[in-house]
Structures are given as structure tokens and as C-alpha cells.
């Protein structure tokens, strides 16, 4: 008889299973019924956790049930048993990518010399653990009731409260939304059935082109809509975090965080903006000994270096000035004057190059050929403010640059920061920010820690993504700079699946996830052989785990599996052998200090770390040849191969089984500056689209990458596919925006005479589109204006930047022609919307301008033709003009941007657009390739309603 369905284990995802006698479902904790299977309970007990994960109640009656006697000491497997034990490595193992393949070469008993320090520290830890085990043994002898009373007395009242909570979208809002999505999908099927079975014979080419475009738009809609199937909201409990990890009279137990700030060009990214970001980081509401700020100057500019040296508190005697707003503002204005004076001085580079204050030449005078530079400004020698309070650590970093080496732009700079921070501070979490994104919410780090330090959900989270918010955007957000629909709609939907995508800034990473490791509890792989039948019942959990291990070995992401938690139980020879097998040097590079830091799951520096040699080691790990023949940029750190390294990096993590979380505090965590003028905005979108095309043409394309692992959820994969195929929508979009003008100039149309049933499908499609938007607005909270701006810029970017990105991506792949992008300029002045009306000549402006002129010419030609033909021509004209006005309305912000403040448009833009539109119009009127030659009627293919 088939066993009843059992719940799923909260730790490993397997079915909990039944008691040994088969009488009922296994229960680990009889107090709260927390779902945990026998294997995971056995593992928790081996680790010394004798209480329930959720409520803390001891597993008093279950110790014997899972095979651990009360008086029997807990033993651990040897290395050989561990590597062959399917159960332990299947659920609780951590994994590293294929580049860490097993090395078959034998080594001496002593192992590699670079691991002598590590072996010594392991010995010390083992001795400490032996001493600690005696205390644990004594504690076990205490009666269970007495243990529980002591725990309740010592624990804080709110210590076991959740740190965050999921707030699902109300069913009254999400259910109608899902129903309309399904109805719209059905209507689309009926609509395409009508379109395909009713061709327009008189203009077959126009009809076929429109149908192909509409099919592509429908596919794009599916890719965009279905990942929003389960949107959620989250709330955090910062007070509970403090109650648990910041108890009065005790040192703070909050995890340390390394902040990364990246900048390249001080002329386009003003030092004052970078300095503001650094100041906001140093002022976060977080323990100062837990905060370190690393500034990556990839342009090796002395201007950036000097701006960080300016003392914000210079000559301030009265400590109370920081509490007075006016005094603080005045002091900050003086600080701005000093920074701006440096900028003015740096406008002209001396012929002999820049010289530092001590008279020595600046090492970075040649930005493409200079040594690595590190300067610890604060925190190295216990720097304090005027009140005697310790200041957070501040480190300037400029990695080495040499000709002939590939430096991988921002991704390479971020990876250099990962290594240097691991050597100097090695915080378990990393928060990266662009230089123009300052901390707007002083409690932002605490918001992230409510997820990352939660033992229930933090163990499988690779990063916490915050939404991007911006200052200095015009009130109507003409070019959709805020990306409200993406950040408030799409990302909420992804958070309900496997997590939001990484968007490049405002993200808190778990450092171990950047090292290529998998989560502590890997999700199970789908196994066809594990399906149950009515006569056999479900497979045993052990069999599933064995299949899981075999599949993991075949998976290219999990070739080397090991458990860092068990590594300390091995003897010296076993440890050295295991370390050699993992080939850490081939994976992480030849730095024993850095490799040692990767084995510390909770961060911190090794006991054997020597402060005198840390800077030298930090210089070594940022050398330009350090990453050669390693896994950096392939499986570890920020992934190379695309200018949108953020999407690629997050995708690799999700493929390993990690999940991410979207955090939206009421007060925006970070705020930045956006390029508000038309030219810069289009170039920004062009860079993003080109990165997506590069991923599409690479081995990491979500269409085919990572299927063997089975750890990327289907809807999450659809979302990633949407992020890499959306630029290709530009091709059908340009064609579809050209069709209205062609129809008006030729007198033909793409739709035949409509029947009553066909009119119902058209009307149902339009109503479903409108209803979907309305319901989306209802559950997401975005405004109608934001939704409309997003729709407009989808067309503007599609017919301009996305189109160029597709051609440049294929040009790079086929001809090897790389496109060098310039950094988007960040405004440093105080003029509100000062750049909104700036127009810079760029070829990206030509296609949308041509479409505008072409459709306007078509509307004029259509009305002229109707006036000449009389009353009968006005009915068919309505459908064509409506089609043309749809294009013009979507391109209206672009047209307004071209006009500028004084309604002045660059002459070359007008000449090119008028020339192309005129030539195109004449060609279509005279040649008319999409219209049958034998048909002289000008109205036969036009739309008409058959009543």
C-alpha cells in the first residue's frame, strides 16, 4: 500500500520519512513539530546542537531514535569515509567549481610547505575543542529540565524571535492578477490562430512581417510576466537583531562588513561624489570595529588619493559641533571647497607628471603601467575622532596595471578588492557600491543582517539586493531613469522564486558564495528513477542521496565536494592530502594567506597572521599576473566575459543553488545619481544591452547553461533568459514601428476585413493588456505615470540603444571588434536638472528620429489621400492613423529631448533623419515590394468591420 505523503525537511528539502517501525511520520521536536528528517537531525546532534533549531527544546527522546546513544561519544568519519559517504556529502557538503579538480599527484606526509601555519592553527583549535568537549559532556549530564530552565533564564525574551518576515501579496490582489495572465495567454492563442489563418493576400509581405513581430512580442511578454507569478514583500526586525547580537555589557556579535567603493575617472566621477559616499559609509549605524571601507581607484588618479586624505574634522576643537546642523553644514561646505580646489588644480596635468606631498613622483602617472598601491588611511593604528571614538578602517587600493595583461575593467577591480580585503580584514560579508551611490539609510547594514544572520534563512543566501533610488531626476522622469517597474515589480516577483538578480550596486554578498562554494544545504536534483508507484511506495531517503551524489559528480559545477566543517577533525596527513586534492593554489592563486582566509566561513584573520607582512601580501594579491591560470573570473568572484558582470555573477550563484533576497526598507538604503540627459541615458542602456548580448553569445547563456545541476528554478531561468534576449526585441520593434508609415504611404494594411468573432479577439486582447497593467499597479504600488514612462522608454531604447547593441555584439563575436565604453559622467554641480536639456551628438539618435519623421510624413500623406478620395477613405484611414499615433506617442519623450530647452536640435540629426525618411518613403511608394503588382485597388486590404 502506498505510504501517505510526508512533509519536506526544512534543512535539506528531502521528505521527512517515517519512524523505524513505520507507524507514523518522524518527529524531531515534539514541542513545535519543526520539520526535520532523521539524517539532518543526526547531523545537528553530531555538531553539538542538542536543541531544536526553531524553539530550542532539547531532543530528549530522539537521541536514541536517530542512532546516537546518550552515553556514547559522538565520533566523526575519517577523510576516506567522508569522501565516500553519500549521505554527509549529499546534504551538508559545500562545493566548489570544476577548476578545483582532484589532483592525482602524491605528496609528502608534511604536505605543501605553505600550509604549515594552517596545520599549527588546526592543532591549537583541536586542543581547544577537546577542552570544550569536556564542558559539553558535563552539560549533557545535567537533567534536561534543569538545562531548559537555565536557558530560559539566561536567554533574552526576544532572542528566538524571527529577524524578518515574508508578507505575501493579499489573495484579493494576486489571484485576479494570475487569472488575467492565464486569460491573456488563452486570448493570445486565439488571436494568433486568427492572424495566421487569415492572411492579407494583397499585402502578404506586410502581413507576414507583422505576424512574426507579434509572435516575438508575445514570447517577450511571457518571459517578462511569468517570473512575477509569486511576488512577495518582506519586513525586518532590527530591534530583534540587536536584542540577539548586541546584549548590554557584552561585545557586539554582529558580523563584520567590508564596503567596496569603485571609481575610475575622477573627471567624470568627481572626487567630491566619491568622498560623499565614503563619508556616508564611515557614518553608518554599525559597530565601528566591524566596518572597513575599501576604495578602488582603477584610474590610479592622485586626485582621488588626495581627496581621501583631506581631514573632514580638521581644526575642530569643540566636539559639540557635530550635533549642530548649521555648524556641520558650514564645515562640510569648507570641506567641499578644499576638494573642489584639488579638482581645479588637476585640470591640467604637469608635463613631468604629478608629485606627492613628500616630493616623490606619483606612481600612477601612467594609468596603464603602474605598480599596485595600497594606503590605509584610517583604522590601521587605531585612529580616533576628536571625542576619542575609534574610526572605521579606510583603505585606498589601486591594483597593478601593466601592458599586455587583460584587466577586465570593473569586474577585475572588484576581484582585486575581494582578495586584498580578505588579507587585511576578511569580513564574512561584502557590500559593494558605485562611487555615486551613498548610504541614505544608516541602518541599511542592519537591514541586510536581519536576513544574513538569521540561522533559518541566512545559510542559503548568497546576497541581499537593495533597490536603486536616485536623486536629481526631473519630476516627470522623462527617460524612466528610476526604473520603477523593474525595481518595484519585477524584483518583487523574483524574490518570491529564487531571489532578485544582482544589479551591480547596493548589494551585500556572503563572501563564501563569491569563492565558488555552494550553499550549506544543497537542493535535491530531480531524479526520474525516484518516482514512486502504487506497489512500491516512495524510495528511501538514502537512495535519493546516493543518486544525488552521482548527479553532483557529473555536474560541471560540483566536481570537487568537501565539507569545511569536518576538515578540522582529520589528522595532519589527511588534511594536507585533502588540501592538495582540492588544488586550492590552482583555484585561488599562489597566496597562502589568502587561501587560508577562504577556509574561514565566519571571516576574521588567522591566528598566525603577521601584521608586518599583511601589506606586502595585499600588494601581491592585486598584482596584474596573480589571476593567471586560476579560477578568478571563471568560477570565483565577479565573472568575466560581459560588460554586465553583475547579471553574470548573480546567475552563476543561483545555478549553484544559492538564493538571494530583496530588501526594500521604508527609507531607501542607498541613493545615487542617474544620467538624466537623453544621450547619456541611451549610452547607459546601450552598455547594459551589449552586456546581455555578450552573455547570450557565451557559454553562460541561460538557454543552455546549468541544466545539469537542476538547481535553477524554471521561472528563475525564464527571468534570466529575459535579461539576455530583450535586446533582440529591437529588430521586430523597429520593423513594427515602420509598418504604420508604410501602410499610410502605400494604402495597404496588415489586417484583413474583420468578422464579429475576430473583433472580439482584438477587443479581448486590448482589454487583457489594460487589465493586466491595472492589476499590476494595484499589487505593486507603482503609479500609472511610472508604468507609462517605462512603456515609452521600452520603445525608445528598443529602436536605438538595443538595436546598436545587437549589431555591436555580433560584430564583436564575428570580427573581434571590441567597443570601448566611456564612464557615464556624474553631475557634481548643484543645478537642479542641469543636464536634462543637454544634447550630445551620437549615432544612436538617428533610428528613433527617422521613425518619428517617417510616421509624421505617413500621417500627412494618409490624410492627403483621404481628402482626395472622399468620404469612403476616412474609415480605413482610422486604423492606420491609430497605428501611427501609437508609435509617435511612445517616442514623444525622445522628440521632446531632441528639442532641448530652446527647441534646438543638432542640425546633423535633422539632416540625417529627413534624408533617410525621404529616401525610404520614395522607395516604398515607387517600388512597393510588399504589395501584389496585379492589384490596383488602394483600399482592398484596409480594415473594415463586417457588421
| Domain C-terminal end among 11, 30, 58 | 58
Q: Are 809 and 693 in contact (CB under 8 A)?
A: yes
pLDDT band at 535, cuts 50/70/90?
Answer: very low
pLDDT at 417: 94
Domain match, 749 and 662 both: no
pLDDT at 929: 47
pLDDT band at 9, cuts 50/70/90?
Answer: confident
pLDDT at 582: 57
The SS3 assignment for 544 reads helix
CATH number assigned to the domain comprising residue 9: 3.30.40.10
Dihedral sign computed on CA atoms, order 621, 625, 631, 632: positive
Query: Torsion-angle region of residue 499: left (phi > 0), alpha (psi -120 to 50) or beta?
Result: left
Give the residue numbers spanning the domain of 837.
180-228+719-927
> Is residue 100 domain-resident?
no
pLDDT digits (tens, 9 = 90+) for 431-464: 999 988 999 999 999 999 999 999 888 889 999 9
C-alpha cell at 186: 488563452
pLDDT value at 620 more than 60: yes
> Is residue 102 domain-resident?
no
Domain match, 325 and 195 both: no
Domain match, 270 and 197 both: no
- pTM of the complete model: 0.74
* 242/875: higher pLDDT: 242
Q: If you average pLDDT over every residue of the chain, what do you get?
A: 75
pLDDT band at 367, cuts 50/70/90?
Answer: confident
> Is residue 148 domain-resident?
no
CA 325 to chain centre: 37
The SS3 assignment for 153 reads helix
Task: Give a three-class secondary structure readout of 303-353.
Answer: HHHHHHHCCCCCCCCCHHHHHCHHHHHHHHHHHHHHHHHHHHHCCCCCCCC
Domain match, 396 and 328 both: yes
Domain match, 669 and 748 both: no
pLDDT digits (tens, 9 = 90+) for 98-154: 333 233 333 333 333 334 444 444 445 445 544 544 444 444 344 444 444 444 444
> Is residue 923 domain-resident?
yes
Beta-bridge mates of residue 232: 168
Catalytic residue positions?
Answer: 298, 646
**Mean per-residue pLDDT, 525-529:** 45
pLDDT value at 673 more than 70: yes
pLDDT band at 818, cuts 50/70/90?
Answer: low
* 115/620: higher pLDDT: 620
- Quick one: angle between helices 846-869 and 907-926, nearest 10? 50
> Is residue 81 domain-resident?
no
Domain match, 293 and 393 both: yes
> Is residue 434 domain-resident?
yes
Task: Give a three-class secondary structure readout of 625-685.
Answer: CCCCCCCECCCECCCCCCCCHHHHHHHHHHHCCCEEEECCCCCCCEEEECCCCHHHHHHHH
Query: Torsion-angle region of residue 159: left (phi > 0), alpha (psi -120 to 50) or beta?
Result: alpha
> Is residue 824 domain-resident?
yes
pLDDT at 693: 93
Domain match, 218 and 258 both: no
| Domain C-terminal end among 639, 674, 709 | 674
The binding site for Mn(2+) comprises 410, 434
Domain match, 386 and 314 both: yes
Domain match, 605 and 641 both: yes
Q: Are 511 and 603 in contact (CB under 8 A)?
A: yes
The binding site for UDP-alpha-D-glucose comprises 262, 268-269, 298, 409
Task: Domain count for the chain, please give it.
Answer: 3
Q: Are 485 and 790 in contact (CB under 8 A)?
A: yes
> Is residue 932 domain-resident?
no
| Domain C-terminal end among 58, 85, 107 | 58
CATH number assigned to the domain comprising residue 639: 3.90.550.10
Domain match, 209 and 261 both: no
pLDDT band at 925, cuts 50/70/90?
Answer: low
The binding site comprises 262, 268-269, 298, 409-410, 434
pLDDT at 653: 93
pLDDT digits (tens, 9 = 90+) for 555-610: 433 333 344 434 555 555 555 555 554 567 888 888 888 888 888 888 888 766 77
pLDDT value at 316 more than 60: no
Q: Are 121 and 597 in contact (CB under 8 A)?
A: no
Domain match, 918 and 821 both: yes
Q: Tell how strand 373-378 and strand 291-297 pair up.
A: unpaired
Give 331's contacts (C-beta < 8 A, 6+ positions apart).
Answer: 312, 316, 321
Dihedral sign computed on CA atoms, order 173, 179, 183, 185: positive
Domain match, 833 and 916 both: yes
Amino acid at each position: 500500500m502506498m505510504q501517505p505523503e510526508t512533509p519536506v525537511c526544512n534543512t535539506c528539502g528531502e521528505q521527512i520519512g517515517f519512524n523505524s517501525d513505520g507507524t507514523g511520520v518522524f518527529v524531531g521536536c515534539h514541542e513545535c513539530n519543526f520539520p526535520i528528517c532523521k539524517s539532518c537531525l543526526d547531523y545537528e546532534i553530531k555538531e553539538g546542537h542538542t536543541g531544536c533549531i526553531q524553539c530550542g527544546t532539547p531532543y530528549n527522546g530522539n537521541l536514541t531514535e536517530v542512532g546516537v546513544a546518550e552515553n556514547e561519544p559522538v565520533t566523526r568519519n575519517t577523510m576516506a569515509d567522508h569522501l565516500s559517504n553519500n549521505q554527509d556529502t549529499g546534504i551538508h557538503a559545500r562545493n566548489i567549481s570544476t577548476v578545483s579538480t582532484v589532483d592525482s599527484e602524491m605528496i609528502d606526509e608534511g604536505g605543501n610547505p605553505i600550509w604549515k601555519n594552517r596545520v599549527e592553527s588546526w592543532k591549537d583549535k583541536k586542543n581547544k575543542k577537546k577542552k570544550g568537549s569536556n564542558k559539553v559532556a558535563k552539560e549533557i549530564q545535567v537533567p534536561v529540565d534543569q538545562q531548559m530552565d537555565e536557558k530560559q533564564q539566561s536567554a533574552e525574551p526576544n532572542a528566538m524571535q524571527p529577524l524578518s518576515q515574508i508578507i505575501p501579496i493579499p489573495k484579493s490582489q494576486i489571484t485576479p492578477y494570475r487569472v488575467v495572465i492565464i486569460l491573456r495567454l488563452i486570448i493570445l492563442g486565439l488571436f494568433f490562430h486568427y492572424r495566421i489563418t487569415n492572411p492579407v493576400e494583397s499585402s502578404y509581405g506586410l502581413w507576414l512581417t507583422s505576424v512574426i513581430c507579434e509572435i516575438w512580442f508575445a514570447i517577450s511578454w511571457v518571459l517578462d510576466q511569468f517570473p512575477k507569478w509569486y511576488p512577495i514583500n518582506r519586513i525586518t526586525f532590527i530591534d530583534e537583531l540587536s536584542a540577539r547580537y548586541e546584549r548590554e555589557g557584552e561585545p557586539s556579535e554582529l558580523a563584520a562588513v567590508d564596503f567596496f567603493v569603485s571609481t575610475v575617472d575622477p573627471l567624470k566621477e568627481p572626487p567630491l561624489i566619491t568622498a560623499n559616499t565614503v563619508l556616508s559609509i564611515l557614518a553608518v549605524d554599525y559597530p565601528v570595529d566591524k566596518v572597513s571601507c575599501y576604495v578602488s581607484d582603477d584610474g590610479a588618479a592622485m586626485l582621488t588619493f588626495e581627496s581621501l586624505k583631506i581631514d573632514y574634522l580638521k581644526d575642530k576643537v569643540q566636539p559639540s559641533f557635530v550635533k549642530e546642523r548649521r555648524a556641520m553644514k558650514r564645515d562640510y561646505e569648507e570641506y567641499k571647497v578644499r576638494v573642489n580646489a584639488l579638482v581645479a588644480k588637476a585640470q591640467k596635468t604637469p608635463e613631468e607628471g604629478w608629485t606627492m606631498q613628500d616630493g616623490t613622483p606619483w606612481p600612477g602617472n601612467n594609468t596603464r603601467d603602474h605598480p599596485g598601491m595600497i594606503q590605509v588611511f584610517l583604522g590601521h593604528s587605531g585612529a580616533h575622532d576628536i571625542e576619542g571614538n575609534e574610526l572605521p578602517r579606510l583603505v585606498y587600493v589601486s591594483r597593478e596595471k601593466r601592458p599586455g595583461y587583460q584587466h577586465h575593467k570593473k569586474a577585475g577591480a572588484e576581484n582585486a578588492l575581494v582578495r586584498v580585503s580578505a588579507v587585511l580584514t576578511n569580513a564574512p560579508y561584502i557590500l559593494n557600491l558605485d562611487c555615486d551611490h551613498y548610504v541614505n539609510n544608516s541602518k541599511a547594514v542592519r537591514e541586510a543582517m536581519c536576513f544574513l544572520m538569521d540561522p533559518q534563512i541566512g545559510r542559503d543566501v548568497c546576497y541581499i539586493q537593495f533597490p536603486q533610488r536616485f536623486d536629481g531626476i526631473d519630476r516627470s522622469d522623462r527617460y524612466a531613469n528610476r526604473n520603477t517597474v523593474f525595481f518595484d515589480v519585477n524584483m518583487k516577483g523574483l524574490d518570491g522564486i529564487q531571489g532578485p538578480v544582482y544589479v551591480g550596486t547596493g548589494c551585500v554578498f556572503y563572501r563564501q558564495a563569491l569563492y565558488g562554494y555552494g550553499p550549506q544545504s544543497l537542493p535535491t536534483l530531480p531524479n526520474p528513477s525516484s518516482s514512486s508507484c502504487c506497489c512500491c511506495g516512495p524510495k528511501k531517503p538514502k537512495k535519493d542521496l546516493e543518486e544525488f551524489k552521482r548527479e553532483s559528480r557529473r555536474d560541471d559545477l560540483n566536481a570537487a565536494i568537501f565539507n569545511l566543517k569536518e576538515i578540522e577533525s582529520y589528522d595532519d596527513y589527511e588534511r594536507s592530502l585533502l588540501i592538495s586534492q582540492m588544488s586550492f593554489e590552482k583555484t585561488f592563486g599562489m597566496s597562502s594567506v589568502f587561501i587560508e582566509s577562504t577556509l574561514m566561513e565566519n571571516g576574521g584573520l588567522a591566528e598566525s597572521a603577521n601584521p608586518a607582512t599583511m601589506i606586502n601580501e595585499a600588494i601581491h594579491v592585486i598584482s596584474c599576473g596573480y589571476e593567471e591560470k586560476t579560477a578568478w573570473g571563471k568560477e570565483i568572484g565577479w565573472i568575466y566575459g560581459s560588460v554586465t558582470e553583475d547579471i553574470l555573477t548573480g546567475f552563476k550563484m543561483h545555478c549553484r543553488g544559492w538564493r538571494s533576497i530583496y530588501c526594500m526598507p521604508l527609507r531607501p538604503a542607498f541613493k545615487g545619481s542617474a544620467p538624466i540627459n537623453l544621450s547619456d541615458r541611451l549610452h547607459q542602456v546601450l552598455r547594459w544591452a551589449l552586456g546581455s548580448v555578450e552573455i547570450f553569445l557565451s557559454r553562460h547563456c541561460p538557454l543552455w547553461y546549468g541544466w545539469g545541476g537542476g538547481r535553477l528554478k524554471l521561472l528563475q531561468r525564464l527571468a534570466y533568459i529575459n535579461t539576455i534576449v530583450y535586446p533582440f526585441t529591437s529588430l521586430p520593434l523597429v520593423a513594427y514601428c515602420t509598418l504604420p508609415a508604410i501602410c499610410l504611404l502605400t494604402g495597404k494594411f496588415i489586417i484583413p476585413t474583420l468578422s464579429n468573432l475576430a473583433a472580439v479577439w482584438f477587443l479581448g486582447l486590448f482589454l487583457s493588456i489594460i487589465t493586466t497593467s491595472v492589476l499590476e499597479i494595484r499589487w505593486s504600488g507603482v503609479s500609472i505615470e511610472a508604468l507609462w514612462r517605462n512603456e515609452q522608454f521600452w520603445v525608445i531604447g528598443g529602436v536605438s540603444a538595443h538595436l546598436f547593441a545587437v549589431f555591436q555584439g555580433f560584430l564583436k563575436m564575428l570580427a573581434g571588434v571590441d567597443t570601448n565604453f566611456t564612464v557615464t559622467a556624474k553631475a557634481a554641480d548643484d543645478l537642479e536638472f542641469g543636464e536634462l536639456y543637454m544634447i550630445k551628438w551620437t549615432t544612436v539618435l538617428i533610428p528613433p528620429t527617422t521613425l518619428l519623421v517617417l510616421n509624421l510624413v505617413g500621417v500627412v500623406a494618409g490624410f492627403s489621400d483621404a481628402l482626395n478620395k472622399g468620404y469612403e477613405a476616412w474609415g480605413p484611414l482610422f486604423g492606420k492613423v491609430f497605428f501611427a499615433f501609437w508609435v509617435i506617442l511612445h517616442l514623444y519623450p525622445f522628440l521632446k529631448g531632441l528639442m532641448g530647452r530652446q527647441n534646438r536640435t543638432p542640425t546633423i540629426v535633422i539632416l540625417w533623419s529627413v534624408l533617410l525618411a525621404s529616401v525610404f518613403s520614395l522607395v516604398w511608394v515607387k517600388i512597393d515590394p510588399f504589395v501584389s503588382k496585379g492589384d490596383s485597388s488602394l483600399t482592398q486590404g484596409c480594415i473594415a468591420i463586417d457588421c
